[in-house]
Homo-oligomer: A and B are copies of this chain.
């Protein structure tokens, strides 16, 4: 079989996508003239300026979280059709500005929205708790009738999916309207959502910055309010990194609580590694994170996916006491850039000022850097190097950010069964240290940076040591948006003799959203949502 030139394949796919955006939703040239990966433009205000959305559509997309919209739809205050139409328009705008989408399903979404409205009118009740709500999905989910290329050019020849991923099936049964899938990095293993099929997703806060990865299409789309709730996956930070970079909420549950079956993997199935990918939501409020978790687990997903743990979503009494939270500040190998150092210090200060207890952990834990190298080894266990095969199959080049997302320490490292035993022992020891700190200090969880900095200029993000730790431990973890890079305020957090990696350029990141990571105890996803809510309230966190 002759290999089509990968640029031709990409061009064809992008043209087909562009054709799915109605002419009336195409932005005027003035809004597009500085749209490129080198531009410092903030495009968040384009939807409200461009005239494509009505006042009501701007209100529906701009002012509510998913929980509020669901109430409005269920209460017949607004129709699903109106809501879906508004989000399709705004997603189309986001796409033109940030290149965040992969599969566009607007036409079918509007048909489905009408069906939802008819159902409600006829039956006097909703289809389910997600009735009529548009939810966006990372490209790796299978949606019947649409391709799942996950950014591999070689996958562009794959036929459309004939089944839905188990999660998609559950969301649809509960009333979701599918309307788009979103962009991700080649192989899903970098923090820049860039690939040779769809190109690069830009950060709507500042186009010259990464939107994050691997669920970066969602990050950009949600920040643009082209989506009110999006679903991603996370094995090293892929939900939390875009949440940080774009300035929204992200939640990574414990492994096995959300059904993972029926997705398209970037690598080989059957990994003997001790870190498994998990599905998690990105959105505008903590209660929307809870909404997603509750609805999916209430649906008893273990009946559809043998890999899902059969335990219910627990309804908890609200926490009324003050929290005890550990604080991990930084690892010497990746010192915090001034904006992140200011963010973390401010967060700890605010929490303490609100009466919560902060327990420093930096001197109690093993090297984050070493732990993250251990984690990375688990991602390199395939002797067949399957993702590389997918890349080579189309003779496409490896994207730049993928080269950057690698540990020098692992150059030439080859996995072996014998070492895998030792790695598991090392992981278990690491787990025990964290576990014992939590128990001995009676912690509810801990806070830590999601990264040593804010979003970086494209292809500079590198490895994610701070987000991969909760994956290594299998602790649930969340990203909370908080503050932003501000060179005036950050100045006093510049430390002499520190080698920032990547280099710190105050002007390059000016205005970039910042945020913190909140980490909970394993299987205590319910509690982490509560903690996240308390912390977000204290910090007045806003997406």
Residues of A within 8 A of B (CB): 268-272, 274, 302-304, 306-307, 309-311, 381-384, 415-418, 420-425, 428, 431-432, 434-436, 439, 521-524
Contact = CB atoms under 8 A, between A and B. Distances in A.
Nearest to A273: B272
Question: Which are the 4 A-B pairs with shortest beta-carbon distances?
Answer: A270-B424, A306-B435, A270-B425, A270-B421
B309 A421 contact: no
A418 B272 contact: no
B522 A310 contact: yes
A350 to B, nearest CB: 29
A417 B523 contact: no
A109 B436 CA distance: 31
A270 B423 contact: yes
A304 B271 CA distance: 29
A523 B420 contact: no
Contacts of A416: 417
Contact of A272 (B304, B424, B435): B424
A522 B306 CA distance: 9
Contacts of A382: 421
Nearest to A312: B314
B523 A311 contact: yes
A431 B310 contact: no
A384 B521 contact: no
Residue picked from A274, A302, A431, most chain B C-beta under 10 Å: A302
Contacts of A423: 270
A416 B439 CA distance: 38
Contacts of A522: 302, 309-310
B417 A524 contact: no
A541 B452 CA distance: 63
A417 B309 contact: no
A418 B384 contact: yes
Contacts of A425: 269-270
B270 A309 contact: no
A436 B311 CA distance: 18
Contact of A428 (B270, B422, B428): B270
A99 B66 CA distance: 67
A270 B432 CA distance: 14
Nearest to A436: B306
